[in-house]
Chains A and B, each alone.
Chain A
């Protein structure tokens, strides 16, 4: 009887120790991936990591189909100091904000003394976007930039070269739409709705004139250039190059209209390419992609996009999470995501990798565009800056205010935010 009881106690004790040690060894990482960035393919990358690291289990959480929606969700989680997320994907405009708010942990300790060398492997813009005051606050997940998509077939038909300046684009658009006599065909589609994309809409010609919006954290607003930039887009509407309701058009509307064969030129991010070549696309194999035009006498400029991996400051598994992020931000994962999800690599070499160019041939020509893309203003109050720019662009395109009024309002509001 006594022996029996002792045995039971021993067994129970052993069982307890076993479960306890198992619980210590197993790390659960919860990763947030926005739903428009191929969570299905990321899942495969996570599986590969789990296979190599049996003690780590990765669960995926998706949500937020736009940068704004996703930021709203993450803002809520972070302000609540919620520990449920360990790793999160961030739009390139956010690492600086998150670091300023103390929501992410720097990687410097994990990377050791050679953090600089580690970051130098990436395209310079991403090394820069993820380093705040000498601290590596996030690691790049993939790159992106805005491109000019055009109908190769239609330009060839009319003997026109892809435009180098916005003026050339307007002339080409007028010529093609007039002779095609297709009432559904628009010359140019871009983002006029008050969304993040409209910030880029404003900045493209503004940057092309060699101007900066923020330098050293201070506003360096060039009103004349701002008026010109707003006027450039408004003129497209007034001349009939862009359609009258462009103020209603969001990023994916541009993609859909072009994909349906109703647009000659379109300004859009890299994700559109894969969709244009899809089975349901009316323009499959008829699409060309080049860098965006410049203003007359200016340099072409593109808006830097891309997404970064940050580790939550409230995570209970920070070290494991950082190791995992290093894997996610490695050349191997970049290559895997380029081939399987057509996400642009954050490493210069991966663009010309044989396997990558075989799967996505146009990546070779995408690299120079990404390399010359400019980052949107880096400031912890970026959300406000973004709101000011996008509502102004939207109001000007809708004819609600003139380019001059828009630029004046923009300057006044930006001054208040970036005091």
Chain B
């Protein structure tokens, strides 16, 4: 039993593989099709291909706006600097760690939220609205709010801990606690997005399947693992792809919560790119870092796409 989205994925594969449209078009129509596609292709080249090429080109240059010197070709200098730069390695590791913690975290919370929202409530809108709010909140805003929540003196978290008889924590004084605070915030912020996609997937599962399972005497848990989860797979993969890519680009929440502190222990790769380009105006080095991040994102996406293909 294939769901709608699974079918789409399957056709998508065939499309790219065998160029099905050649069967329907004679050569003159093919030219016309090309012409019709041209504006879109040009637009794509202008807003995606050109900036990426420009980025790669800049990454091979010595281009620091504070030096007053004109740009000079530097070959792989920026990349070799990157490999020797401990902050680059630290921020990359932090980014990977944030991804490894928050993506599964947001998936689990999001799945739970989606299942709850899918319960037969009489009034559905208050549930859906409360799901939408964290998603609709700007990232930096969420970061600022949680920075206050976790403030060691004025924050609500330590206040609650105190009332429960625990000693408060100076969250942003230790890399581990600061990291935990950031991950919790990211999970809070992003799980509603996961929930929305999964909820959409849940609603495509026909009720009759559960009715049949009931008749066969399958319990709730069994129904979840045998019907719900397998049929949700495509939605989950889509949600994971989006979330993973945004996780690799994590910037706003650690930027507003800790500015990468204490020291540089919670700084992410995106923050380091921002710092080099915007604060230090070292566009050459910043571009090299950005190229690395681009390659990393592409690599992760490729892995996901391969997973879908393997399971398709």
Contact = CB atoms under 8 A, between A and B. Distances in A.
Interface of A: 68, 71-72, 75, 79, 97, 100-102, 193-194, 244-245, 247-248, 380-381, 383-384, 387, 391-392, 394-401, 409, 412-413, 416
Interface in B78-103: 81, 84-87
10 contacts: A102-B68, A194-B262, A247-B262, A381-B66, A394-B261, A395-B264, A398-B263, A400-B263, A413-B87, A416-B84
A97 B261 CA distance: 26
A380 B264 contact: no
- When A and B form their complex, which 3 residue pairs have the shortest distance between CB atoms, in order from nearest? A395-B263, A398-B262, A398-B173
A248 B154 CA distance: 12
B175 interface: yes
Contacts of A101: 65-68, 281
A397 B68 CA distance: 36
B264 A412 contact: no
By DSSP majority rule, is chain B's interface helix, strand, loop, or mixed?
loop
Contact of A391 (B152, B174, B261): B261
A244 B261 contact: no
Given A75-B278, A194-B259, A247-B262, 6 more contacts: A100-B67, A193-B261, A194-B262, A245-B152, A384-B282, A387-B280
Contacts of A399: 173-174
B216 interface: no
Given A194-B261, A244-B173, A394-B263, A72 B278 contact: yes
Interface string B137-174: 00000000000000111000000000000000010111
Contacts of A248: 151-152, 170, 172-173
B265 interface: yes
Q: Is the interface of A mostly helix, strand, loop or mixed?
A: helix
B65 A394 contact: no
Interface residues of B, number: 30
B31 interface: no
Contacts of A75: 65, 278-279, 281
Among A75, A101, A397, A398, chain B packs the most CB atoms within 10 A around the CB of A398
A247 B177 CA distance: 14
B275 interface: yes
Contacts of A392: 263
A387 B172 CA distance: 18
Interface string B261-290: 111110000000001001111100000000
B67 to A, nearest CB: 6
A381 B281 CA distance: 10
Given A75-B278, A398-B261, A380 B67 contact: yes
A355 B102 CA distance: 62
Contact of A194 (B86, B260, B279): B260
A177 B260 CA distance: 33
Given A101-B65, A101-B68, A398-B174, A247 B153 contact: no
A244 B170 contact: yes
Given A75-B278, A400-B175, A395 B66 contact: no
B65 A395 contact: no
Nearest to A393: B263
B265 A400 contact: yes
A336 B282 CA distance: 40
A102 B170 CA distance: 44
A416 B85 contact: yes
A247 B260 CA distance: 13
A384 B263 CA distance: 14
A401 B263 contact: yes
B152 to A, nearest CB: 5
Contacts of B66: 97, 100-101, 380-381, 383
Contacts of B263: 194, 391-392, 394-396, 398, 400-401
Given A247-B172, A384-B280, A395 B67 contact: no
A70 to B, nearest CB: 12
A248 B261 CA distance: 9
Contacts of B151: 248
A245 B170 contact: yes
B138 to A, nearest CB: 18
A344 B204 CA distance: 70
Interface string B87-131: 100000000000000000000000000000000000000000000
B156 to A, nearest CB: 16
Contacts of B153: 245
Given A100-B67, A101-B67, A395 B170 contact: no
Given A100-B67, A102-B68, A247 B173 contact: yes
A79 B278 CA distance: 10
B281 A79 contact: yes
A66 B279 CA distance: 14
Nearest to A401: B263
